[in-house]
Amino acid sequence: MEDMILYNRLQFAFTITFHYLFPQLTMGLSLMIVYFKWIFLRSGNADYNHAAKFWMKIFALNFAMGVVTGIPMEFQFGTNWAKFSELTGGIIGQTLAMEGMFSFFLESSFLGMFLFGEKLLGHKLHFVAGFMVFLGSWASGFLIIATHSWMQHPVGYEIVANGKFVLNNFGALFNNPWLWPSYLHNQAGSLITSSFFVAAVGAFYVLSDRNSRFGKLFLRSSVVFGLISSVIVAFPTGDLAAKNVVNYQPATFAAMEGIFHTEDGGAEIVLIGQPDMENKKLDNKIAVPNILSFLTYQRWDAQIKGLNEFPENVHPTNVPGLYYAYHIMAGLGTIFIAVMSVSAFLLWRKRLFDNHWILWILMFMIPFPYIANTAGWYTAELGRQPWLVYNLLRMVDGVSPTVSSGNTLFTLLGFVGLYILLGLLFLLLVIKIIRKGPEPILAH
């Protein structure tokens, strides 16, 4: 049973990690594309229209990859996690079906119009098509996170005699206190990814002196988007999401922060440290006194409960993994604020394009928002373990009893090989689009 659970978790973790490389760019990029098109309508500057169409090509490629890699996860609910689907399908099926029926079709239908219908629609309706793509992509994220939020903090349900969860309050799904902070935090993270991606391409164009006019346009826009989203992901959205963990999953919060024993009179915030699970402490830590208490309860001397306050059978399954994932996310988030603040200052002083050192930094930062977003999702998922539905349904009770560990391992290896090929193909196509650049600038 342990091998079966391990392989099921590894397979789902791998497929969803690879899949989310694509939606995290498309959701943020859709907003930036709408912004480019809107500026074109307001100013008449054709550069912005070409920028919108250029980025929509990359958006479409990401969208296609997201669809292809998202489909296997739907099947895994019925194969690897059939018991979970049987017990909770009456609730999570609502939001997942809405995501597929409404958001996906809205996004995909108007994506075709935006890609191929500019001449037929005219610029104003072309903008509307782009806005509907943005609306569909963000609605899709909302419904997925509504599902995830119910698993983190179940509301509006009852358990009937056969053990199944049924929904008795549909509105509670969308009024879940876990939902809005998580959703806004996730969307801000997506916008960080798109901002750094656009900035990296802009920096490449300026540094290589190719399409430098578009490169400067991309940098001006992405630095502003990047600074705003980097701040929002920390406060208020990150702060509100962390307070939800404190209120509803206190053992998870203790593990995230590496607090093994309750701290009275003010808890320090650990910047660096390594969990020692045998001795229940952090090794080689660098910490700032009392900050964690203040950030959590706005009091310097507030008590923070440690893992010792909770039974071991409700501790997160992988405390070191959770601790490192959280600190990678938080550490990179701090770096993003610093990089975008410096870039915004240089942009304001009209010195951004001449300082090649910051352009090189922006160009080589491109993988780190992906790492931070992935670490953020690992924090959420590892924090909920050993539960599939927090405090109600354990992971061991949700796996499929008839799918062997050998079958799961075999298909996992197949996914790894196939996704490596897909990833390489995707990179080649994106590089080809970037090398070609936006369309030639029209006369104004």
pLDDT of res. 1: 61
Averaged over successive runs of 10 residues, the pLDDT of the chain (444 residues) comes to: 84 96 97 98 95 96 94 89 95 91 87 93 96 96 97 96 93 96 98 98 96 96 98 97 97 96 91 94 94 94 95 94 97 98 98 97 98 98 96 94 89 95 97 89 45
CA distance 369 to 164: 39
CA distance 110 to 33: 13
pLDDT of res. 265: 86
What Rg value do the Cα atoms of the chain yield, rounded?
23
CA 31 to chain centre: 15
Alpha-carbon separation of residue 365 from 221, 372, 437 (angstroms): 17, 11, 20
CA contacts within 13 A on the Cβ side of 238: 22
Model confidence pLDDT, tens digit, residues 6-36 = 899 999 999 999 999 999 999 999 999 999 9
pLDDT of res. 442: 46
The secondary structure of the chain in percent helix, strand, coil, rounded to multiples of 5, reads 75, 5, 20
Q: How many residues does the chain have?
A: 444
Cβ 282 vs Cβ 274: under 8 Å: yes
CA distance 97 to 105: 12
pLDDT of res. 440: 63
Considering the entire predicted model, what is its pTM?
A: 0.96
Q: What three-state secondary structure class fits 356? A: helix
Stated as kind and residue range, the H or E segment containing 389 is: strand 387-389
End-to-end, the C-alpha distance of the chain in Å comes to 68
Cβ 128 vs Cβ 120: under 8 Å: no
Which tokens hold the place of 114? 């935006």
The DSSP-derived string for 39-69 is HHHHH--HHHHHHHHHHHHHHHHHHHHHHHH
CA distance 152 to 147: 9
Cβ 73 vs Cβ 12: under 8 Å: yes
Angle formed at CA 396 by CA 391 and CA 402, multiple of 5 degrees: 145
Cβ 368 vs Cβ 337: under 8 Å: no
**Amino acid letter, 420:** I
Q: Which of 201, 92, 231, 107 is nearest to 156 (CA)?
A: 92
